[in-house]
Amino acid sequence: MIDTIYFEEDISEHPRTLSILAKFKAARTIPIKRFGELFNQRKQNFRIQKSKPSLILAQKHNGHVLQAPGGFGIGGTKNFYFSHMYNCVYDCRYCFLQGMFSSANYVVFVNFEDFDKQIERIINQHPEETVTFFSGYDCDSLALETITGFAAHILPIFKNYPGSLLEFRTKSIQVNPLTSMKAISNCVIAYSLMPEVMSVALDNKAPSIKRRIETMSKLSKQGWKIGLRFDPLIHGENWRTLYEELIEDVFKIIPQKSIHSVSFGPLRFPKAMHRDIFKLYPEDPLFSGPLQQRGPIVAYRQEIENEMADFCRQMFAKFIPDSIIFQCTPEGQSPELENNERQTYSNNG
Amino acid sequence: MIGAPAIRWVIALKSEAKPIIEKLDMVPSKKGIDFPVYRDKKGYHWLIISGIGRARSAAATNYLQQESDAPPWSAWINIGIAGYGYDSYGALYLVDKITLEKSNLVAYPGVAFSTNLPRAGLLTVNKPKMDYSEPNLIDMEGYAFYEAVNKFSCRELLLLLKVVSDGPKSNVKELTSGKISKLISGNIENILSLVVQLEDFSKLEFKRLVPPDICRQIKEKWHFTVSQEHQLSILVRRWTSLFKENALFSEIKNQKSSKSVISYLSKVLDEYEVDWGQS
């Protein structure tokens, strides 16, 4: 429950600010100049904050839409991402957001219209190509939808551009804006998945895998295209059996015609990020497994990574054509993005 | 080994501190030379009486940090009386924003507490202020306390509480030591309920920051270099997240050197397949 909301003074009268504040009548509201003065402050304790995050309402001034790293795509030739929000209501132990921001508070950017403009500009710059936009890179796309209304706002834009593609990456089972409208053919609702027993240990506060699969099934029946995201792949005892069961279950329930794409990728952290997250949660078993430093990243040993990737790819191939299976690899990054760890690693499920 | 929790109190007036000292059964510490310092029997709680004003508050905070050997998981509390234009005489407020008068400086203490206490902003002033037209609580120490603590702690381990003592209908000149003590003691249960939460945060930090005790035993048996100590600490953390801490020593007891301890633990962990059903 959010009981503190900070808001930038410049957007105090913004209709979206007023609408969000109206949903939290009992919350203490605190005006601030710029969200960065609070959010980027040093000497914050992410772990304690995560136990009771506050909400920050702000305006995004630039960088509304950014180029996605190479090795991160689902078939389109141009890939971009945007985040109307920073941070997530869930607390997944492998998530890079833990090491990305010094604050666990949620930031919601209320100037959605500026995102619209930039999305449309990019689409118009590439009239002959399929431009894919990923939502949910720095947050979960749908988890706070009842508060932000972002999905309901952005979906109609994409209706006008059927040649482009929008992916909502989520673990949320609150999908009201989707179920209350006609499915849009160029929108993919992508669910992060891992074997239930791993999810119980790692996906803190997130809906169970069973509920996610039920929600995907519901959405597919309404005509929505579904993305299956096995990213990151988690190693552990009986991992083959666990993934085999999961993959078989998913494909038994979600009809092949509803599946837009399947992607999978290894667990990976930039070295500094791994150090920071381990410092935050040194007692977590995720960091006790066979992780090792490989150049600038910390990941499972190469043979484990390859074995898991090969196994999963073969499993997927039993149910869907190769053309819609995508492997996310840190090696696939664009050279110009090499120094931008944030854009290169995306264990945000 | 110093045990958790670690709580440090910085209070301007003796009359404000008296109810806390009594409630926590604190006694004067021999270390209080520049400022009066008190501590409880276990050494979990330390309290300093700073005197009035920013300079004294900052100096006392730094003094207490050094004199009490405040560990990194210490939580810090500033409590005192304050003026308020809304004149809720005797009401206790949790401060969530501090502004330094005649500056652009603003600070935001953490708000991860579960409490129904009312909250307010605080304006820290240089001289006593009788103009209560301002929307914030008014004191003379808060910002300096925050600034001093923030050099060695984080904002989530920092708590500012103010009790309204004066306002448009409550003349500050009528305040006496007795009345001030009563203002604090009248809120002592609410104060302590927040202190319990702060203690929990401090304990959580203790567990996060301090390597398991078994590290100490291992270091007593084999000699580790500084770099090896760091490696050992990480390996022991990883090991204890999977197995019982008390089983570790027997696991490595036959190792001949610090190097072989590290090598053995690394090998075991690097080959271990986590049983997610058990974790």
Report DSSP state, residue B76. E
Query: Which pLDDT value is given to residue A341?
Result: 41
Query: What CA–CA distances, in Å, run from A150 to A106, A139, A180?
Result: 14, 12, 15
DSSP secondary structure, A195-251, as one string: -HHHHHHHEETSPPHHHHHHHHHHHHHTT-EEEEEEEEE---TTHHHHHHHHHHHHH
Mutate to test the interface with A, among B152, B276, B279 (most CBs of A within 10 A): B276
Which of helix, strand or coil describes residue B245? helix
Residue labelled with tokens 């037209």: B133
Task: Indicate yes or no: CB of A44 within 8 angstroms of CB of B155.
Answer: yes
A10: which 2 tokens? 């410049």
B109: which 2 tokens? 């203490």
For residue B180, give the nearest of B75, B49, B270, B1 by alpha carbon.
B49
Judging contacts by C-beta atoms under 8 Å, the chain B residues touching residue A283 are 207, 237, 240-241
Q: Does residue A253 sit at the B interface (CB-CB below 8 Å)?
A: no
ipTM over 0.85: yes
**Average pLDDT of B236-247?**
90
CATH assignment of A63-81+111-344, among 3.20.20.60, 3.90.650.10, 3.80.30.30, 3.20.20.70: 3.80.30.30
Task: Indicate yes or no: CB of B271 within 8 angstroms of CB of A290.
Answer: yes
What would be the CATH architecture of the domain defined by B7-208?
Answer: 3-Layer(aba) Sandwich (3.40)
The shortest C-alpha distance from B36 to chain A (Å) reads 29
pLDDT band at B159 (very low <50, low <70, confident <90, very high): very high
Chain B: residue whose CA lies nearest to A283: B241
What would the pLDDT profile of A128-182 be if each residue is shown by its tens digit?
899 999 998 899 999 999 999 999 999 999 999 999 999 999 999 999 999 999 9
Query: What CA–CA distances, in Å, run from A167 to A88, A113, A191, A341, B13?
Result: 17, 19, 10, 22, 59
- pLDDT of residue A81 exceeding 60, the answer is yes
Contact A71, A330 (CB under 8 A): yes
Task: Indicate yes or no: CB of A45 within 8 angstroms of CB of B111.
Answer: no
What would the pLDDT profile of B79-111 be if each residue is shown by its tens digit?
999 999 997 999 999 999 999 999 989 999 999
Chain B: residue whose CA lies nearest to A26: B116
Chain A: residue whose CA lies nearest to B99: A32
| Least confident stretch, A73-87, A203-217, B198-212 | A73-87
Judging contacts by C-beta atoms under 8 Å, the chain A residues touching residue B203 are none
What would the pLDDT profile of A31-68 be if each residue is shown by its tens digit?
999 999 999 998 999 999 999 999 999 999 999 999 98
A134: which 2 tokens? 């990923």
**How many whole angstroms separate alpha carbon B238 and alpha carbon B215?**
12
Mutate to test the interface with A, among B274, B275, B278 (most CBs of A within 10 A): B274
Task: Indicate yes or no: CB of A290 within 8 angstroms of CB of B119.
Answer: no
What would the pLDDT profile of A196-206 be if each residue is shown by its tens digit?
999 999 999 99
- Which backbone phi and psi does A244 adopt, to 5 degrees? -60, -45
**How many whole angstroms separate alpha carbon A195 and alpha carbon A216?**
16
Q: Could you say which of B106, B113, B241 has the minimum Cβ distance to residue A288? A: B241
- pLDDT of residue A75 exceeding 50, the answer is yes
The shortest C-alpha distance from B188 to chain A (Å) reads 23
Judging contacts by C-beta atoms under 8 Å, the chain A residues touching residue B110 are 44-45, 48-49
Q: Does residue B155 sit at the A interface (CB-CB below 8 Å)?
A: yes
Average pLDDT for chain A: 92
Chain B: residue whose CA lies nearest to A31: B97
The shortest C-alpha distance from B61 to chain A (Å) reads 17
Q: Could you say which of B96, B154, B269 has the minimum Cβ distance to residue A288? A: B269
Task: Indicate yes or no: CB of A198 within 8 angstroms of CB of B238.
Answer: no
First CA to last CA across chain B, in angstroms? 28
Judging contacts by C-beta atoms under 8 Å, the chain A residues touching residue B205 are 45, 48
Judging contacts by C-beta atoms under 8 Å, the chain B residues touching residue A202 are 276
Give me the total of CB pairs closer than 8 Å, taking one residue from chain A and one from chain B.
113
Task: Indicate yes or no: CB of A47 within 8 angstroms of CB of B208.
Answer: yes
The shortest C-alpha distance from B211 to chain A (Å) reads 9
Query: Which pLDDT value is given to residue B97?
Result: 97
Task: Indicate yes or no: CB of A282 within 8 angstroms of CB of B157.
Answer: no
Task: Detail the DSSP E strand segments found in B84-147.
Answer: 92-100, 106-107, 119-124, 137-139
First CA to last CA across chain A, in angstroms? 23
Q: Does residue B212 sit at the A interface (CB-CB below 8 Å)?
A: no
Q: Does residue B117 sit at the A interface (CB-CB below 8 Å)?
A: no
A164: which 2 tokens? 């482009």
Q: Could you say which of B111, B154, B240 has the minimum Cβ distance to residue A43? A: B154
Task: Indicate yes or no: CB of B96 within 8 angstroms of CB of A30.
Answer: yes
Kindly report whether the peptide bond that precedes residue A232 is cis, defined as omega within 30 degrees of 0: yes
**Average pLDDT of B113-137?**
95
Task: Indicate yes or no: CB of A285 within 8 angstroms of CB of B273.
Answer: no
Q: Where are the domains of chain A?
A: 63-81+111-344
Q: Does residue B276 sit at the A interface (CB-CB below 8 Å)?
A: yes
**Average pLDDT of B6-12?**
98
Average pLDDT for chain B: 94
- Within its chain, how far is the Cα of A258 from the centroid? 20
Chain B: residue whose CA lies nearest to A1: B114
% of chain B residues with pLDDT over 90: 90
A223: which 2 tokens? 């005509």
CA angle A108, A110, A114 (to 5 degrees): 120
**How many whole angstroms separate alpha carbon A75 and alpha carbon A132?**
8
B15: which 2 tokens? 């009359």
- pLDDT of residue A2 exceeding 70, the answer is yes
Task: Indicate yes or no: CB of A283 within 8 angstroms of CB of B240.
Answer: yes
Q: Where are the domains of chain B?
A: 7-208, 211-271
For residue A147, give the nearest of A113, A185, A176, A118 by alpha carbon.
A176
Judging contacts by C-beta atoms under 8 Å, the chain B residues touching residue A28 are 96, 111, 119
Q: Could you say which of B238, B240, B279 has the minimum Cβ distance to residue A201? A: B279
Neighbours of B20 (CB within 10 A): 23
Report DSSP state, residue A324. G
Contact A231, A73 (CB under 8 A): no
Q: Does residue A235 sit at the B interface (CB-CB below 8 Å)?
A: yes
**Average pLDDT of B111-138?**
95
**How many whole angstroms separate alpha carbon B246 and alpha carbon B235?**
15
Question: Where are the alpha helices (H) located in B150-225, listed in sequence order?
Answer: 177-185, 188-209, 214-221
User: CA-based Rg of chain A, rounded to a whole angstrom?
Assistant: 20
